[in-house]
Chain A
Amino acid sequence: MSILGTRVVRIEDPRLLTAGGTYVDDLRLPQLTGAARVTFVRSHHGHALITGVDASAALAAPGVIAVLTYQDINDIPPPPPLPEGGPPPGSEAAPLPMGGVWQEPLLAVDRVRFVGEPVAMVLTDDSYQGEDAAELVSVDYEPLPAIVDPADALAGHTLLFPDAGSNVAVAHPAGDTAFDGCDVVVSRDIVNQRVAPVPMEGRAAAAMWVDGKLTVWVSTQNAQISRFIMAGAFGLDPDAIRVVAPDVGGGFGAKVGIDRDAILVAWAARHTGRALRWVETRSENLVGMTHGRDQQHQIKIGGTRDGRVLAYRLDVLQDTGAYPRMSGFLPTLTNLMAVGPYDIAHVEAGYRVVVTNKTPIAAYRGAGRPEATAAIERAMDLFAAEIGMDPAEVRRKNLVPADKFPYQTPCGAHYDSGDYIGALDKVLAGSGYAGLRAEQARRRERGDALQLGIGVASYVEITAADAENGETARVVVNGDGTATVYTGSSPHGQGHYTAWSMLVQSDLGIPMDKVTVLHGDTDEIPLATGTYASRSLQLGGMAVHKADLEVKEQARRLAADMMEASEADLELDIDRGLWHVRGDPESSKTWAEVASHAGSDGLVAAVHFTEAQPTFPFGSHVAVAEVDTETGKVTLVRHVTVDDAGIVVNPVLTEGQRHGGIAQGAAQALLEEMVYDADGNPLTGTLADYAAITATELPSFELLVSETPTPVNPLGVKGIGEAGTIGATPAVQNAVIDAVSHLGVRHIDMPTTPARVWAAIKEARNSQ
């Protein structure tokens, strides 16, 4: 029996549990012995001109090696000019600043545009000295009016980039769509608020230059992309750069590529000739690492009184923060997935991207798709409420039926496979939906203070959106019969070592404990993309699988030669990892024997696997919330999900991905928000203020199984990393609103804090 699909516990864990991981701050390499510490001096203003920097006091402080400002950056090429035809949308694969008038400098030049922007670097012998000395760097600021609200950005009275002449970085506004023939049309403005990714390990980098070669250890999802970004920034041949991603303590999209802060650490290592290390504090992380979401949606939905949706319009205003990194790209994904899992004839979606004096926005678990799902799932509930129909029933009437796949959407997506109605019915049955509605009715009848809300969300999402970029793998069977996998995918908690070892065991019969997986070192794996967009298994895993099969065919030829049999007669006994001639089990050769026969090159296959198109996982969630109508307090009491991402290689790992995503989705729906005051000061800039969700605020989750294979790749697999946030966020939000809908509440923006829930109840009561 194949090991695929079985519950295998992780091979990564014993090391992490007994010795701890080796994150950037844990590296005790000889090359980094005595590495100086980098501490950034960051802007305390949301928007200001810099009129002077005085480092003299800092330079006199104990342990200070150097204080560096933009004036020291005189040894790298100028940034590329703005391409013809305006700024291109950013790319998730390469979150470079847009350049030209929107150029994001490495260190602030003459102005700062967000609290947390790097202004100077202090190099010291140790980190305590760095914190002291950074306080002594005196920066003179002339404050400018800050733009915090995207509406003010549109008004344009203050410009963040005067040369741009506008705060609008990209504009593709939604057109009009036909709402003719609709009995009912509902419009609403909703907010998908700004949240902080908060990986438990913040950003970190170490760097050294020796003999013209740069080595950078960085906490990243993409060592190879980081290498090319730095090659461009420094005007270097990529071969002069080695990037290593050691253990990475979570990423969630915010560690795609490499940030300006870490690029600066590499630059400063060359500039000063010192090995350097930078590990940000959490308070830095909350303002310096990119944030996620921050879209305002205008939604409009129309249909018939019997529940058929005929038209939908979504207009997205993306607040991209101070610099347009990849957030030109994020709303394109929101637009692409705007119609969700529904068969709606008329759909229009558009977006504008504006700059504001806040931390730049980039990918955060879901990256544009949770926003799309949140919008249409709220729209569905608003429509259902307007026509007085059960929200699950409205969804069932409009989901794309299973016999319509592959399905081309009006938004331009090509859905590969699915059974959306099946997923909805399964989660309704699994949650006991009818019983929940009955309990809700009883509580409403009794007028209980503690009301029950049931939130439904159906979704489809896109994974491996850049399928054409593919992923690399090299599989080697060594002379001792062990295997080594060099993977382009880069783990930061997902369990790649376990999953890839399972693939090798399944394909070649080499047991998992004889498989070594290597990743994230560009000297070993120069060409790769890395991890984002739930692409690992379907691209990186497929590349391993394909390399396995190539190695297997090489081995077949060798074994045939060794056993003087025809290749067609050679069989691999996967259970025992032995080659033998068909019908003659005694004639066996081990992998060690075959690999030893392979000559100096050994048994090796290198693959770059690409997919013809992305894949589209789907599912349905039911959230159950109790809301105290007297205080507004919300308790998420149950969360039941169907998340279908095709064939499952290891249920333990996919369940873990679903759990984590559900929690982050619930966190956005219930608690988390990056809040700024009118001057652009973050009010949630520490973990004492930012409401990162804890164990007490969540229930255990109820996961249901569904596996609909995709025809897009031979393993039939899709991505599972982001499904949780995409499905859970609207399900939980809908549950909270549903709990108080009988009081006249139609909508509450996220996060649905007690204050907001209480205010919504009060407002609804007052208007009745």
Chain B
Amino acid sequence: MKVSMTVNGAAVDAEVPDRTLLVHFLRDVAGLTATNVGCDTTSCGACTVLLDGQSVKSCTVLAAQADGHQVTTVEGLANGDGEMHPVQRAFHAEHGLQCGFCTPGMVMATVSLLAENPRPTEEEVRTGLEGNLCRCTGYHNIVRAVLAAAEGGDI
């Protein structure tokens, strides 16, 4: 079937098999490989992207369901000058990533979390990111990064 969507502000159209998952559309059709697949049970959140501004696990959305919608991946977060988004900057400053595999999903989940709750408590951050697994950081610096990004107030 033909699927058309806007990814990081650019139109992407392609003929794909009906069962194509959004994450594979992004990786293999749009050529945006930052979004990773970390599991097959919607458990890990590595594939988190924004669909019309809301976080979704793109392994559990069909490309067809995103037809006509806006998708944002971590590649689309920095501004036109290449300056990192405040959440990206906070992850960098607070050492909120190690191997980097969960990071694109974790950053996108954070952007969505802070859009809903701009000043979360630590507990709200931990609850808000429960659907995103990280195996390297013990979440400690991820939580600090989210709180720091919220503190910065320029989300």
B41 touches A16 (CB 8 A): no
Within the complex, the shortest CB–CB distance from B140 to chain A, in Å, comes to 4
Q: Is A315 an interface residue (CB 8 A)?
A: no
- Given known pairs A128-B19, A201-B36, the reply for A687 and B138 (CB within 8 Å) is no
For window 643-690 of A, CB contacts with B under 8 Å fall at 652-653, 655-656, 659-664, 686-688
Cα A465 to Cα B135 with chains together (Å)? 24
Contacts of B92 in A (CB 8 A): 9-10, 13-14, 17
A19 touches B34 (CB 8 A): yes
Q: Is B74 an interface residue (CB 8 A)?
A: yes
Q: Is B22 an interface residue (CB 8 A)?
A: no
- Given known pairs A13-B92, A692-B135, the reply for A200 and B19 (CB within 8 Å) is no
B95 touches A700 (CB 8 A): no
**Out of B101, B140, B143, which one reaches A23, CB within 8 Å?**
B101
**Out of A20, A281, A660, which one reaches B36, CB within 8 Å?**
A20
**Out of A18, A25, A495, which one reaches B98, CB within 8 Å?**
A495
B138 touches A660 (CB 8 A): yes
A252 touches B135 (CB 8 A): yes
Q: Is B43 an interface residue (CB 8 A)?
A: yes
Q: How large is the interface on B (under 10, 10 to 19, 20 to 34, 35 or more residues)?
A: 35 or more
**Out of B41, B103, B141, which one reaches A688, CB within 8 Å?**
B41
Contacts of A283 in B (CB 8 A): 40-41
**Out of B133, B137, B143, which one reaches A687, CB within 8 Å?**
B133
**Out of B93, B129, B135, B139, which one reaches A250, CB within 8 Å?**
B135
A13 touches B139 (CB 8 A): no
Cα A494 to Cα B99 with chains together (Å)? 7
For window 1-29 of A, CB contacts with B under 8 Å fall at 9-10, 12-14, 16-23, 25-26, 28
A656 touches B133 (CB 8 A): no
Cα A546 to Cα B23 with chains together (Å)? 46
**Out of A493, A661, A695, which one reaches B126, CB within 8 Å?**
A695
Within the complex, the shortest CB–CB distance from A34 to chain B, in Å, comes to 13
B133 touches A692 (CB 8 A): yes
A493 touches B99 (CB 8 A): yes
Contacts of A128 in B (CB 8 A): 17, 19
Within the complex, the shortest CB–CB distance from B8 to chain A, in Å, comes to 12
Cα A283 to Cα B134 with chains together (Å)? 17
Within the complex, the shortest CB–CB distance from B93 to chain A, in Å, comes to 6
A17 touches B103 (CB 8 A): yes
**Out of A20, A653, A655, which one reaches B74, CB within 8 Å?**
A20
Q: Is A633 an interface residue (CB 8 A)?
A: no
Q: Is B56 an interface residue (CB 8 A)?
A: no
Contacts of B37 in A (CB 8 A): 25
Cα A208 to Cα B138 with chains together (Å)? 37
Q: Is B88 an interface residue (CB 8 A)?
A: yes
A26 touches B135 (CB 8 A): no
Number of A interface residues at 8 Å Cβ cutoff, please give it.
55
**Out of B74, B136, B138, B144, which one reaches A698, CB within 8 Å?**
B138
Within the complex, the shortest CB–CB distance from B153 to chain A, in Å, comes to 20
Q: Is B75 an interface residue (CB 8 A)?
A: yes
**Which residue in chain B gives the minimum CB-CB distance to A20?**
B34
Cα A495 to Cα B27 with chains together (Å)? 26
- Given known pairs A20-B35, A692-B133, A695-B126, the reply for A686 and B99 (CB within 8 Å) is no
Contacts of B97 in A (CB 8 A): 13, 16-17
Cα A337 to Cα B127 with chains together (Å)? 38
**Which residue in chain A gives the minimum CB-CB distance to B83?**
A18
For window 103-155 of B, CB contacts with A under 8 Å fall at 103-104, 107, 122, 125-127, 129-130, 132-144
Interface bits A693-732 vs B (CB < 8 Å: 1, else 0):
0111010110000000000000000000000100000000
**Out of A9, A249, A282, A662, which one reaches B40, CB within 8 Å?**
A282
Within the complex, the shortest CB–CB distance from A663 to chain B, in Å, comes to 3
Contacts of B11 in A (CB 8 A): none
Cα A16 to Cα B34 with chains together (Å)? 8
**Which residue in chain A gives the minimum CB-CB distance to B89?**
A17
Q: Is A247 an interface residue (CB 8 A)?
A: yes
Q: Is A248 an interface residue (CB 8 A)?
A: yes
Q: Is A199 an interface residue (CB 8 A)?
A: yes
A695 touches B129 (CB 8 A): yes
Q: Is B68 an interface residue (CB 8 A)?
A: no
**Out of B44, B134, B135, which one reaches A282, CB within 8 Å?**
B44
B74 touches A28 (CB 8 A): no
Cα A9 to Cα B41 with chains together (Å)? 34
For window 125-183 of A, CB contacts with B under 8 Å fall at 128
Interface bits B66-103 vs A (CB < 8 Å: 1, else 0):
00000000110110001010001001110101111111
Within the complex, the shortest CB–CB distance from B73 to chain A, in Å, comes to 9
Contacts of B142 in A (CB 8 A): 695
A656 touches B127 (CB 8 A): no
Contacts of B40 in A (CB 8 A): 281-283, 686
Within the complex, the shortest CB–CB distance from B138 to chain A, in Å, comes to 3
Contacts of B39 in A (CB 8 A): 281-282, 686-687
6 A-B pairs besides A20-B35, A494-B98, A659-B140 with CB distance below 8 A are A13-B97, A200-B99, A248-B99, A659-B138, A688-B42, A694-B129
Jot down 11 A-B pairs with beta carbons below 8 A, ordered by A. Answer: A18-B74, A18-B77, A21-B99, A200-B38, A494-B98, A659-B138, A660-B136, A663-B140, A695-B127, A700-B144, A724-B138
Q: Which residues of B contact A (CB under 8 A)?
A: 17, 19, 27, 31, 33-44, 46, 74-75, 77-78, 82, 84, 88, 91-93, 95, 97-104, 107, 122, 125-127, 129-130, 132-144
